[in-house]
């Protein structure tokens, strides 16, 4: 049988077309410069194609740093509100059911019955430089009371209903309330580039937070909590390979009634899982630092403070039989969040040598203070040095005229002490000092080769305004 030459050419072209179909030869399609073309070849992982049929969950790990921090919430405060953002690029999931979040923690002191509420959502921004993300579409995923036990290394938050993640920047919104405080518990975080502001946090002691409080000025934090995100294998698609993992399970935890701000969800939960208890995993961190209350991720004090001290003054001059007498002074602190700080004080007091000399004093001065361990939550020893002017009244029982050249005497102030922090607003200070006169005329008698001086023992309270300046 013979075929027409044209028919032979048509059959040959048809064969070539089928043979090259698998190579995806298409005409070039122009795209706008800002358009991201996502083809099926970009999906590295898909639960439908995965051979591990036994795996029910897969995990995404974000953060490998070892920095101790008070984010997403600080155990030194009763109530806190925080937002954290995890970027879509570091998550690497296009779509999937998020079932829970696990944090790495270091617990040095047990806390019980801590009320935790968590919402999650997605946001266009990748930071909180402009403040809180007021996202009305956030979904509440957990509301319960949690025990933090000594030695605990992980804190798993199981979602009461899965959150259907759609590939955006993940927003985690947490509210914490509890009556107990401690400076020995921390989250383990990864320090982010300066100014990235991936966490925003507010904290106070007087009352719990609402879900949104836009008027509350959040503290910008560059320490991002290390987390493991647990995704269900159902419908999961990702741009990177994922690791199969079992979902943490433990004894039930009490769950309080929902609050009024809780929004109804269209998704019906398929299961409810409890919060895990301590695990036996050890991440190699120094537990000594946690027990001693060391915080290295943020400043414990605000830059401005006001203090009031009661003092005991002992005159040391040209007369014998000195008497210890009381005094007091008011101080104003500046740059208090730093190891080196500055303070200005105003004080009154009295010095006396029995039956010979007495004087009433009023003094003002400026001191420079250096804290040796500025970021210890329990407090810090410190040294101080400064100077000022002292005004004194004339007073003596010695017969005959005494010469007071001038009632204003400059002095040098030296001292050392210890500050105990009760919380981020209040501290107790005990110090010992020497107010060395630059004149020998305090007692009206210039005698010997040393100038007059006053020894002081001070006990006082200091109040720091605000909640600490976060790095």
Of 81, 66, 289, nearest to 185 (Cα)?
A: 289
Task: Give the 3-state secondary structure of residue 41.
Answer: helix
Decide: pTM greater than 0.85.
Answer: no
In sequence order, the β-bridge partners of residue 426 are 463
Asked if residue 374 lies in contact with residue 338, where contact means CB atoms within 8 angstroms, the answer is yes
Q: Of the ranges 121-125, 187-191, 298-302, 340-344, which one carries the lowest mean pLDDT score?
A: 298-302
> Does domain 305-464 sit in CATH 2.40.50.140?
no
Task: Please say if the pLDDT value at position 95 is more than 60.
Answer: yes
pLDDT (average), residues 183-193: 91
**Mean pLDDT, all residues of the chain:** 76
Query: pLDDT tens for residues 303-314?
Result: 789 999 999 988
Other CB atoms within a 10 A radius of the CB of residue 168 amount to 14
E-assigned strand segments in 335-356:
340-353
Cα gap 75→187, rounded to integer Å:
10
For residue 211, the model assigns a pLDDT of 85
Other CB atoms within a 10 A radius of the CB of residue 350 amount to 17
Asked if residue 85 lies in contact with residue 128, where contact means CB atoms within 8 angstroms, the answer is yes
What whole-number percentage of the chain has pLDDT above 70?
70
Task: Please say if the pLDDT value at position 348 is more than 60.
Answer: yes
Cα gap 201→210, rounded to integer Å:
14
Confidence of residue 165 (pLDDT cuts 50, 70, 90): very high
């Amino acid at each position: 049988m013979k075929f027409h030459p044209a028919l032979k050419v048509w059959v040959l072209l048809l064969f070539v077309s089928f043979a090259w179909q698998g190579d995806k030869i298409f005409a070039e399609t122009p795209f706008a410069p800002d358009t991201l073309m996502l083809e099926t070849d970009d999906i590295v992982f898909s639960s439908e194609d995965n051979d591990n049929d036994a795996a029910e969950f897969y995990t995404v790990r974000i953060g490998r740093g070892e920095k101790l921090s008070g984010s997403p919430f600080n155990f030194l405060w009763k109530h806190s509100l925080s937002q954290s953002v995890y970027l879509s690029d570091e998550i690497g999931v296009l779509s999937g059911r998020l079932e829970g979040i696990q944090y790495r923690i270091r617990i040095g002191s047990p806390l019980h019955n801590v009320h935790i509420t968590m919402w999650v959502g997605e946001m266009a921004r990748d930071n909180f430089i402009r403040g809180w993300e007021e996202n009305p579409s956030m979904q509440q995923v957990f509301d319960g009371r949690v025990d933090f036990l000594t030695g605990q290394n992980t804190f798993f938050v199981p979602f009461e209903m899965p959150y259907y993640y759609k590939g955006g920047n993940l927003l985690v919104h947490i509210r914490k309330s509890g009556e107990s405080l401690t400076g020995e518990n921390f989250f383990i975080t990864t320090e982010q580039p300066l100014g990235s502001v991936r966490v925003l946090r507010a904290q106070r002691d007087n009352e719990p937070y609402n879900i949104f409080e836009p008027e509350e000025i959040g503290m910008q934090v560059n320490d991002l909590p290390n987390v493991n995100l647990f995704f269900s294998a159902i419908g999961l698609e990702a741009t990177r390979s994922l690791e199969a993992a079992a979902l943490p399970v433990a004894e039930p935890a009490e769950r309080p009634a929902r609050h009024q701000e809780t929004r109804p969800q269209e998704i019906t939960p398929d299961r409810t899982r409890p919060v895990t208890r301590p695990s036996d995993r050890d991440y190699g961190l120094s537990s000594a630092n946690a027990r001693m209350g060391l915080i290295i991720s943020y400043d414990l004090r605000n830059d401005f403070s006001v203090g009031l001290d009661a003092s005991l003054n002992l005159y040391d001059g040209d007369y014998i039989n000195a008497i210890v007498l009381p005094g007091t002074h008011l101080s104003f602190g500046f740059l208090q969040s730093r190891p080196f700080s500055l303070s200005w004080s105003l004080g009154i007091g009295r010095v006396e040598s029995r039956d010979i000399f007495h004087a009433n004093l009023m003094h003002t001065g400026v001191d420079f203070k250096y804290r040796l361990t500025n970021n210890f939550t329990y407090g810090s020893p410190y040294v101080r040095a400064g100077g000022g002017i002292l005004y004194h009244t004339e007073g003596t029982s010695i017969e005959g005229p005494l010469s007071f050249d001038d009632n204003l005497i400059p002095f040098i102030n030296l001292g050392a002490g210890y500050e105990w922090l009760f919380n981020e607003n209040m501290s107790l200070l005990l110090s010992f000092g020497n107010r060395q006169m630059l004149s020998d005329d305090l007692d009206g008698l210039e005698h010997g080769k040393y100038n007059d001086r006053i020894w002081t023992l001070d006990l006082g309270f200091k109040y720091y305004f605000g909640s600490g300046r976060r790095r």
